[in-house]
Structure 1
Amino acid sequence: MFQEFKKFAMRGNVIDLAVGVVIGGAFGKIVASLVSDIIMPLVSLVVGGMDLAGKFVSLDGNTYPTLAAAQEAGAATLNYGLFIMAIVDFLIIAFSIFMVVRAINRMKKPEEPVVEEPTTKECPFCKSQVAIAATRCPHCTSSLE
């Protein structure tokens, strides 16, 4: 069992996946910082200084000045502002990944088409398809040499 696990863990796909997860985690932090520190302040400026992260609806019927105050009071809240920010994060990450994959695909050389060798030939007498190595036609028994 140990040998099977070692063989599985050392396959190229598993190592590539591990590297991808580590790089993806770091990339996610960069994008989260981009969204929260650069994009959302610009969005806030465009929409008149509104803090999207602080937008919520209290489900207990009371009104709270901030999300932190509602959470401190133990009120159940629908945090639609945080949800919108998560959607923006996702869209930016998806677009960024798309652009990286697109750039990588453009750098790759186009694969040359594989030309397959013919496996059959035509009998000159009866026009049937026969194997390339055949010396006699199986249909009309003519000699093909």
Structure 2
Amino acid sequence: MLQEFKKFAMRGNVIELAVGVILGTAFGKIVSSLVEDVVMPLIGLLIGGIDFSGLSFRVGEAVIKYGVFIQTIVDFLIISFSIFLFIRLVNRVYHREKQEEEAEPVLSKEEELLTEIRDLLKESRREVE
């Protein structure tokens, strides 16, 4: 059982997934800091210095903290937009590299000569017909 677990844990996909989760967590912290420390104070200034996280009202003994809910929605929107931009950048780089790979292959001297001979043979056949 230990050997089977070792084989499972050392698979490429498991390691890649672990790296992705770790990087995603770190990226999430960066974006959360951006939202909490930069964006939300600016939004608060634009709407008159209101701090969303402090917005609440009471219903009997219960405290409804709708400001925290608004803050969470804004966090989600900014984080999802940041991830969208990051994925878009990665896709552009990937597609650019793929296009460069698919670009016209460089022919060797032999291949160029063979191509010229083929083209000449095609022309001579057309002239005969």
Distance 1:11 1:50 in 2: 50
Describe how 1:5-16 pairs up with structure 2 within 5 A: 5-16=5-16
Give the structure 2 partner of residue 117 of structure 1.
Answer: none
- Runs of 4+ residues over 2 Å off in structure 1: none
Distance 2:2 2:50 in 1: 57
Find the partner of 1:100 among 86, 98, 115: 86
The superposition leaves residues 4-48 of structure 1 with CA deviations (integer Å, 9 ceiling, x where unpaired) of 211111111111111111111111111111111111111111111
Q: CA deviation at 1:76?
A: 2.6
The number of residue pairs the alignment matches comes to 98
TM-score (normalised: structure 2): 0.69
Distance 1:31 1:76 in 2: 31
Give the structure 2 partner of residue 44 of structure 1.
Answer: 44
TM-score (normalised: structure 1): 0.62
Describe how 1:52-91 pairs up with structure 2 within 5 A: 52-60=52-60, 75-91=61-77
Larger radius of gyration: 1
Distance 1:19 1:51 in 2: 36
Give the structure 2 partner of residue 31 of structure 1.
Answer: 31
Runs of 5+ unmatched residues, structure 2: 103-129
Quote the sequence identity (%): 61
Distance 2:15 2:41 in 1: 38
RMSD: 1.6
Which letter does structure 2 place at the counterpart of 1:39? V
Which letter does structure 2 place at the counterpart of 1:8? F
Q: CA deviation at 1:84?
A: 1.0
Describe how 1:128-143 pairs up with structure 2 within 5 A: none
